[in-house]
Amino acid sequence: KQEVTQIPAALSVPEGENLVLNCSFTDSAIYNLQWFRQDPGKGLTSLLLIQSSQREQTSGRLNASLDKSSGRSTLYIAASQPGDSATYLCAYRSNDYKLSFGAGTTVTVRA
Amino acid sequence: ETGVTQSPTHLIKTRGQQVTLRCSSQSGHNTVSWYQQALGQGPQFIFQYYREEENGRGNFPPRFSGLQFPNYSSELNVNALELDDSALYLCASSPEGVNIQYFGAGTRLSVL
């Protein structure tokens, strides 16, 4: 059962372009939603966490929005840089504490 | 730096063997969760421990088992290894009352 869907699966953009990564989920009773970054073969780095009562969170060039009613979250990365190349995962936490992850969007920023 | 350390970083086993993966969390992190991430997929929840008791489990067979110790370390044990067990295993911990999970760098397990 696919609980979290991330589209697109891969994305390649020239440096300086803005990135838009989409995440959709089927569980309406989420506790929070989190965006992670994963470099090849490495662990997860938390980027932004949005509580279920919030609409968005911002950190530097990153902005994440959450629409619980439609089951969607979007991660925006402004003015992309080659160092932003990585896989970006979204995950929601439900009341049973576990995180449910999407398969990720692999981003390549070309210099 | 999350303060969550996993060992070993890489491991190679053969089918049918048993393996133990270790995770060390920060002091006060009473909750630890383990995830399996197959190549090209998102992490899948295996189980969670709170104060040394299992309090949640995903769709994994009983040959996946765990332990949590009073010193904030934990183990994931997998018996009768299968080829499909090849994956990155991630440990994540949380302090009491905090709903953020801090992830370790993972252990890459290869089953031949």
Return the minimum-mean-pLDDT range out of B14-18, B27-31, B46-50, B97-101.
Answer: B97-101
Set of chain B residues whose Cβ sits within 8 Å of the Cβ of A53: none
Q: What are A72-87's pLDDT values in tens digits?
A: 999 999 999 999 999 9
Residue A97 — very low, low, confident or very high, per pLDDT cuts 50/70/90? confident
How is residue B56 written in tokens?
Answer: 């949640």
| Cβ contact, residue pair A42, B101, below 8 Å | no
C-alpha torsion angle, residues B86, B87, B88, B93 (rounded to 10): -100
The mean pLDDT of chain A is 92
Q: What does DSSP say about strands A105-110 and A10-14: parallel, antiparallel, or unpaired?
A: parallel
Chain A residue with CA closest to B106: the answer is A43
- Alpha-carbon separation of residue A64 from A60, B25, B28, B96 (angstroms): 11, 28, 29, 26
Residue A98 — very low, low, confident or very high, per pLDDT cuts 50/70/90? confident
In this structure, the number of other CB atoms found within 10 A of the CB of residue A107 comes to 20
Best residue of B25, B37, B39, B53 to probe chain A, by most A CBs closer than 10 Å: B37
Best residue of B45, B53, B54, B57 to probe chain A, by most A CBs closer than 10 Å: B45
What is the mean predicted confidence (pLDDT) over B7-32? 95
As a 3-state breakdown, chain B gives helix, strand, coil percent values, each rounded to 5, of 5, 50, 45
Q: Which of A96, A97, A101 sits opposite B43 (nearest CB)?
A: A101
What is the mean predicted confidence (pLDDT) over B56-71? 94
Set of chain B residues whose Cβ sits within 8 Å of the Cβ of A2: none
Chain B residue with CA closest to A10: the answer is B40
